[in-house]
Structure 1
Amino acid sequence: MSIQWFPGHMTAAKKKAAESMERIDVVIEVLDARAPEAGSNPLIRELREFRQRPCLKVLNKSDLADPAATQAWLTHFNSQKNVRAVALSCKKPGEAAKIPKLCLSLAPHRGTPLKPLRMMVMGIPNVGKSTFINALLKRRTAAVGDEPAITKNLQHFDLNDAMQLIDTPGMMWPKIEYESDGYLLAASNLIGRNAYDEGEVAAFLGDLLLARYPALLVQRYKIPLAGLDGVALIAAIAKQRGFRGKGGEPELGKAAMTLLQDYRSGTLGRISLETPTTRASMMRLD
């Protein structure tokens, strides 16, 4: 199943972002640290490269991600031209405080009251842009939620008299090129739930976790993993948790959601769904 999600308001969001790009100095692209390349919108890259704007990639939710994978992504992104990368968790007070200085290093000619540094925050839905904005401003001004596409319009904020922030709506791209990316995004709750089948996504996630994080599965669910694939893992979770429906049949849907929620919340442990190396392998298979 190919997963696609491009709500109508995102076409307008792209147009507004393109118009604003001419008047900003640095793009701050907020990413989910667990799947940073799968969730990096190619339209954002095209817009900023057309205007030759530098980019600070913020790997948010790093407290949920595998530290070794995150370090590999930082090395990967920091090797790119006109790009800096930093990992943080916006839920940890003070971690966002390093961002203005990093942005200023990308546009050292700005950052005075006469020439304020203008930073545009971009990213796909639900990566934590609004939480990031609130952490920078040290007050709750941007709407926050756990469902994709909360912000619908551009919002302007003054960080201080020498720095300005523009918050943009979460913006997807019209067609997800790689099928595996759709599953990575769905597993991480980065696209609308109406765009995918939760059972299929949970089975995909199960296959990935069995291959890369089997010890975390055993620790959480206390089940033997020998011979299991993603579908069988979900059935085993249903049996172990006693999820039964009418006639005593296992409630596979409930077990699938349990696996997804345990991953999304960090209950399973610190997990990354891709690294630069595994991504290269997945792209060859897609």
Structure 2
Amino acid sequence: MTIQWFPGHMAKARREVSEKLKFVDIVFELVDARLPISSRNPMLDQLLQQKPRLILINKADLADPQQTKQWVSYFKRQGYFALAINAQDNQGIKGIVPAAKEVLKEKIARDKARGLKPRAIRAMVIGIPNVGKSTLMNRLVGKKIAQTGNKPGVTKGQQWLRFGNEVELLDTPGILWPKFEDPEIGKRLALTGAIKDQLIHLDDIALYGLDFFARYYPDKVAARYNLTAEEAALLAPELLMKITQKRGYKDNYDRGAELVVFDIRQGKLGRYTLDRLEELGEADDAVD
């Protein structure tokens, strides 16, 4: 499955990000803890270049906690300061300002040595659609200012928000990239809801999700759908048929596929991480 999607508002957002970078000190890059690599936009490295960056691994409550620890260590080894958070429940939010100050400590020291009056840190919040930017903004500011929604593309424009006296935040729309060269990335993003369902085939995504869970979390599939060990070990197409029939949908496999996809998205099969460090050959030494 190849997904190509670059709406006009995303092209505009990319230009706006490039133009606004000169006004900020640091970029808060949000990624989804369930897919910390696949939810990073590869265009950002070219756009941001040497701009200081804090990677916020959001939705940590939905991800495999051991995998999240490994990804935090991985990003640190890549030279980034990373912090696992759950913006929805305000977990880890208090650590963002200290982390930003740590990333900017050399700049802060230079400004102080030059006799410049301290000012609020200016930060840009950026990430792909549906990664939780608006929820984070609302948590930081302490009131519902940024529009939120459990679907990609809710945030359309840009706005500055004040976070106490220490940080000024610039929100940006979510930006995807024109084409996913790796079809696995497209499937992972689709499974977590980062791509509009109108652009994908839910049955393909359901089969991908079932295959993944059968490989890494087989007990969770069996528990959720009341399957025997033998049934849970079926290949994904047969497994989808079995789940559809057990739920009383008869031969309505589209309905069965929709059930599986939304169960996975809503965490009804438990916590999971789609991006695996072992695929990068890094898992053995990933935890400091």
Q: TM-score, normalised by structure 2?
A: 0.90
* 1:129 to 1:217, Cα distance in 2 relative to 1, 3 A: same
Q: Report the CA distance between 1:156 and its aligned residue.
A: 0.6
213, 219, 236: which one aligns with 1:215: 219
Q: Distance in 2 between matches of 1:113 and 1:231?
A: 64
- The aligned counterpart of 2:204 is 200
Contact 1:155 1:166 in 2 (8 A): yes
237, 242, 257: which one aligns with 1:236: 242
Please tell me the residue identity of whatever aligns with 1:149.
Answer: G
127, 134, 138: which one aligns with 2:138: 134
- The aligned counterpart of 1:57 is 55
Query: How many residue pairs were aligned?
Result: 273
Deviates more, 1:209-218 or 1:113-122: 113-122
- The aligned counterpart of 2:16 is 16
Contact 1:4 1:182 in 2 (8 A): no
Q: Report the CA distance between 1:42 and its aligned residue.
A: 0.8
Q: Report the CA distance between 1:105 and its aligned residue.
A: 1.1
- The aligned counterpart of 2:191 is 187
Q: Distance in 1 between matches of 2:176 and 2:117?
A: 34
Q: Distance in 1 between matches of 2:280 and 2:185?
A: 10
Task: Kindly indicate whether residue 78 of structure 2 is the aligned counterpart of residue 80 of structure 1.
Answer: yes
69, 83, 86: which one aligns with 1:71: 69
Q: Distance in 1 between matches of 2:280 and 2:189?
A: 14
- The aligned counterpart of 2:101 is 104
Q: Report the CA distance between 1:178 and its aligned residue.
A: 0.6
* 1:131 to 1:254, Cα distance in 2 relative to 1, 3 A: same
* 1:145 to 1:279, Cα distance in 2 relative to 1, 3 A: farther
Deviates more, 1:197-206 or 1:110-119: 110-119
162, 176, 185: which one aligns with 2:166: 162
- The aligned counterpart of 1:92 is 89
Q: Report the CA distance between 1:197 and its aligned residue.
A: 0.5
Contact 1:44 1:122 in 2 (8 A): no
Q: Report the CA distance between 1:225 and its aligned residue.
A: 5.0
Tell me the C-alpha RMSD between the 2 structures.
1.7
Contact 2:84 2:92 in 1 (8 A): no
Q: Report the CA distance between 1:96 and its aligned residue.
A: 1.1
Q: Distance in 1 between matches of 2:274 and 2:229?
A: 19
Please tell me the residue identity of whatever aligns with 1:39.
Answer: S
Contact 1:209 1:217 in 2 (8 A): yes
Q: TM-score, normalised by structure 1?
A: 0.91
Unmatched segments (≥5 aa) in structure 2: 283-288
Please tell me the residue identity of whatever aligns with 1:237.
Answer: I
Structure 1 residue runs of 4 or more that deviate by more than 4 Å after TM superposition? 110-114
Q: Report the CA distance between 1:113 and its aligned residue.
A: 6.6
